[in-house]
Chains A and B, each alone.
Chain A
Amino acid sequence: MLAGGQSLVPLLALRLASPSALIDLSGVPGLDYVRRENDHVAIGAMTRERAVERSEVVREFVPLLSVAMPLIGHLAIRNRGTVGGSAAHADPSAEIPAVALATDAEVVVRSSARGERTITSDDFFQGFFSTALEPDEALIELRFPVVRPGTGVAFEEATRRHGDFAMVGAAAVVRTESAHIVEARIAVIGVSDKPLRRREAEQALAGAEPTRGAFEEAATLAADSLTPPSDLHGSSTYRRHLVRVLVRRALESAVQHSQEGG
């Protein structure tokens, strides 16, 4: 299925994929929206990344998504690329799946045979360019919970160049109350065949004082037990090291953001 084409068409041009049929979703009406609905923000699958980047609703209610958007490729890519396309493509280094994971977003998919179903992010992103989508299903909506008061967010990436896929990225969502961390969520990309939540690190932060030591400890927990891939751009050891650095930086930044009012 062809959404924005920014990831799929290069694969076709390089003859790495040869689908027998390509269905263009841009002709399907009603998939392009950003709506606050009760406790979540619903974003239609065909909503262009640029529209999400500019959305005041997203900025106010799903700030992690808002700060992640400028990290995605370049302007011309975001003009055409869609949030649904990015989620369905499930590149392990993509930002939107990490945001979905870190915010416990839900994915709504539909098939003509079985109707709609809602899938948690944890269940949706299954592996290397692979999701829970059945062959006859299309992703139609992403639902991001509205951010709670006192929450700060950050998305730190290490890229070879501005706009490149992250070698490693870390998303942090931290809620503080009276100078203590109430709750933290951490998701990392570039470390596995899919984005990963770092729950052990999150648990270590629950109730903790937001000190450098706490961040470092959480970052170490986040990096431990990871076996990131090695490639041209970074060895496995380097990526694991980057997780420690970027998770720490993301936590510092998110806490600061939360203390500034979130």
Chain B
Amino acid sequence: MSQQVAQRYVGSPIKRSEDRRILMGAGTYVDDVKLPGMVHAAFLRSPFAHAAITSIDTSLAREAEGVLLVYTGEELEALLAPGPYGIGVIMGMEKPVFSCLATDKVRLVGDLVAIVVAESRYLAEDATELIEVGYDELPPIVTVEQAFDPSNPPIFEDLGSNILVQSEPRSYGDVEGAFSRADHVLRVTISQHRHQNVPMETRGCVASYDPATEHLLMWSANQGVHHHRSTIAGRLRMDPEKVRIRTADVGGSFGLKLGGSREDVAAAAASRALGLPVKYIEDRYENLTASGQAREESFDVEAAYTDDGDILGLKVKMVMDGGAYPGLAGALPSVIERMLPSAYKIAALEFQSTVIVTNKATYVAYRGPWAAETFVRERVIDLVAHELGREPFDVRMQNVVTRGEEPTVMITGRSLAGVTVRESLERLGELVDLPGFRREQEAAKAEGRYLGIGMASYIEAAPGPKMQGMPLGREEMRMELAEDGKLIVFTGQMPHGQSHETTIAQIAADEFGVAFEDVQVVFGDSDIVPPGFTGGSRSATMAGGAAIMTARALRAKVLETSSHLLEANVADMRIENGAVSVVGVPASAMSLADVASAVRQPGRLPEGVDGELKVENVYDGGSGGWSGGTHCAIVEVDHETGLVHIERYVVTEDCGELINPAVVDGQVRGGVAQGIGAVLLERSAYDDRGNYLTATFMDYLMPTTMDIPNIEITHLETVPLDPDVNFRGIGEGGMIVAPPTICNAIEDALAPFAVRIYQQHLPPAKLLELIGVIEPD
């Protein structure tokens, strides 16, 4: 029976619990951790993209001041069990097999060659300069052509070539029919460029092996302590029960800090050998060069469409550059494939993909890893609109699905239940005066100024709709009533900016019946919290739902137990404001602290009544659902310099019921900022020898206050799909849809120059080349 619980917190922009310590400088990020006797690790990294290691001499480094330990790749590998690293732990990839540090060859600039542990990071770095390594350079594989060329040496022998995975073409719907019915076929190659997560906190760990107990404690910056533990325990051949991962505050991640890294394992092995805590904090140069990069994909697209503007079908061939030491890349194309039709009536799709291995940084998960599906599709819609001389907005409205009408399922099989993209477009049409803008655009053009408007729509699986017979997932949560009457929530979520400490507490407080201040959310300790992780825009539904269900279960248990203590009927009892009360009998209220204390007294409860006020629960995601919406940007392009100014940015979106509107808005704006950065500023650049060119913030340009406009956000009314849980995730949407939004706007601004945009990175020189003002060098 559900009680009418007053909704005091959910839906409000409650101030964050995290903020006190964060604003006072009292957070605990991994580099803040100091353990007695702690020493420091630095890594020698490869200067070459692809080379055999012919010799390595660490004797001078071992003698250097303050140095305690040096391992080469071979020395370290003898101490470890082979297996996956990083996100490979979650993806379950079997090939290629690689070592913790490079043994016989290096595979990217920045590859790990040796670890030095010394009394300070300064001294450890000094000592790395004393290690002498003989390299025989091999041809660097940095382009698609080089990866496909069978005469080039395979980067991984056990792969046999530099093709990691190649799928057969798969068809959905009547592809032949669609293309023969079409009046036109658009044939284009659309590509995304390499860029990267760049959290403000780099990766790092403090590994502390206690020889007396043979236990390893590791402080780490990560998105899930249990995955981290699996990697460390697995590689160190340790019983996971003897490995404890602790994580307090994490300075952002955006997908980067998933699973234990090779550096983490090396530091842990060093700690075990020394019996001392070993700290390794990646510096920014290392982070930009070698921690991982994302988004380098190219698509040959054929789009079949009619004179009327109906998009009938797509044929897509994709090549993804998985970098060296592949992790995520092999598994991603199928996600892109399934998402391509999105909320549109695209009735036919043919898709083929290839993932290559190259001598570049590993392809990692970066906020909406499959975002290419939105970039490609939303660019194609605009390109089709331009061919037909139609407003892109109108072509979208014509092709987007309508709730309650067919199709209700994407041709790739995913249900479109609850999707409100049409509604988001309509709302956008009310918020942005399109005809008015077109007049303004004309007037500006007459003055020699180029304004443009662009929009793009998307949906993201946050966590996605429930599929027949299959639960969406498994979110474990535990709640306990503490002795002082406070509610303690143990979650496997590992927030790194998502404010879960606040949002989970809001839900638990409302559902259980206590004040927000009386809820404590515990995360980040593999000895204490249930397994889980944060990522994939799942947590609002999964953790939010788990919080509701677990709090309900605990409330029921507390009321059941209290009914014995108060000798009342459970049906008449409530938990409100931190106390258990009986309806109509105010005098017989009991504070939760008193309840918690009473159940610990022997004999207080009748025999057979469970006095343990704790519940463990698994939530399966319920009906789940999509989040999605439409973004719109108005830009001005300076046609003399190619610099772009974003005048206005509007978001209409639907992420179901909002737990904390301020948190949601923050996530949206942060994602949009990364998308703007990707188009205008950020590129992970390599030269043709595989040298990495953007290893500092002087060259890898991050957007600043001057680059990101105020972003207007309208949340649409919820379409509930589930009786209990209609929170949906929102973490990745901004980053998925902002790039095509900006690119569409820029193309619109440059329409007078007949510009067509087929790539995502548009630095000023590129725009002038597209306009025709300058020739490419």
Contacts and interface: CB of A to CB of B under 8 A. Distances in A.
Given A15-B125, A164-B701, A241-B773, A235 B765 contact: yes
Interface string A205-231: 000000000000000000000000010
Given A164-B701, A238-B768, A158 B641 contact: yes
A234 B765 contact: yes
A161 B694 contact: no
A144 interface: no
B6 interface: no
A238 B704 contact: no
Contact of A161 (B285, B681, B768, B776): B681
B203 to A, nearest CB: 18
A249 to B, nearest CB: 8
Interface string A244-261: 010000000000000000
Contacts of A232: 683, 685, 693-694, 699
Contacts of B774: 235, 237-238, 241
B701 A238 contact: no
A14 B641 contact: no
A44 to B, nearest CB: 28
B720 interface: no
Interface string B369-405: 0000000000000000000000000000000000000
Interface in A138-192: 158, 160-165, 167
Nearest to A74: B704
A160 B777 contact: no
A232 B698 CA distance: 11
B692 to A, nearest CB: 11
Interface in A60-83: none
B707 interface: yes
Contacts of B764: 158, 160, 167, 234, 238
A242 interface: yes
Contacts of A241: 768, 773-774
A242 B694 contact: no
Given A158-B764, A160-B681, A234-B765, A165 B776 contact: no
Contacts of B13: none
Given A232-B694, A232-B699, A161 B773 contact: no
B593 to A, nearest CB: 49
Contact of A233 (B641, B704, B763, B776): B763
B157 interface: no
B763 A242 contact: no
B704 A160 contact: no
Max count, chain A CB within 10 A of own CB: residue among B641, B683, B699, B707: B641
Interface of A: 10, 14-15, 158, 160-165, 167, 230, 232-238, 241-242, 245
Contacts of B696: 10, 14
Given A14-B285, A238-B768, A245-B641, A162 B704 contact: yes
A238 B765 contact: yes
Nearest to B683: A232
A235 B706 contact: no
Contacts of B706: 161-163
Which 6 pairs, one residue from A and one from B, show the smallest C-beta to C-beta distance? A235-B777, A238-B765, A162-B706, A245-B640, A237-B774, A234-B765
27 contacts: A15-B129, A158-B641, A158-B643, A158-B764, A160-B681, A160-B763, A161-B681, A161-B701, A161-B706, A161-B707, A162-B704, A163-B704, A163-B706, A164-B701, A165-B698, A167-B764, A230-B777, A232-B694, A233-B763, A234-B763, A234-B764, A237-B776, A238-B769, A238-B774, A238-B777, A241-B774, A245-B640
B32 interface: no
Interface of B: 125, 129, 285, 640-643, 681, 683, 685, 693-694, 696, 698-699, 701, 703-704, 706-707, 763-765, 768-769, 773-777
A161 B703 contact: yes
A205 to B, nearest CB: 20
Chain B, interface SS category = loop
A19 to B, nearest CB: 15
Contacts of B129: 15
B704 A161 contact: yes
A235 B763 CA distance: 11
Contacts of A237: 774-777
Contacts of B683: 232
A147 to B, nearest CB: 28
Nearest to A159: B643
A215 to B, nearest CB: 13
Nearest to A164: B701
A131 B699 CA distance: 25
Contacts of A242: 641
Contacts of B685: 232
B696 to A, nearest CB: 7
Given A162-B704, A230-B777, A238-B774, 13 more contacts: A14-B696, A162-B706, A163-B704, A164-B701, A232-B693, A233-B763, A234-B763, A237-B774, A237-B777, A238-B777, A241-B773, A241-B774, A245-B640
A164 B702 CA distance: 11
B474 to A, nearest CB: 44
A165 B129 CA distance: 31
Max count, chain B CB within 10 A of own CB: residue among A232, A238, A241, A242: A238
Contacts of B769: 238
Contacts of B642: 238
Nearest to A15: B125
Nearest to B680: A160
B271 to A, nearest CB: 26
Contact of A235 (B698, B701, B704, B776): B776
Contacts of B641: 158, 242, 245
B729 to A, nearest CB: 31
A160 B642 CA distance: 10
A233 B773 CA distance: 17
Nearest to A244: B640
Given A235-B776, A236-B777, A241-B774, A160 B701 contact: yes
A14 B698 CA distance: 12
Nearest to A167: B764
A153 B191 CA distance: 44
B216 to A, nearest CB: 31
A161 B699 CA distance: 11
A156 B747 CA distance: 27
Max count, chain A CB within 10 A of own CB: residue among B285, B703, B777: B777
Contacts of A15: 125, 129
Nearest to B699: A232
A10 B285 CA distance: 11
B719 to A, nearest CB: 41
B639 to A, nearest CB: 10
Contacts of A158: 641, 643, 764
B281 to A, nearest CB: 14
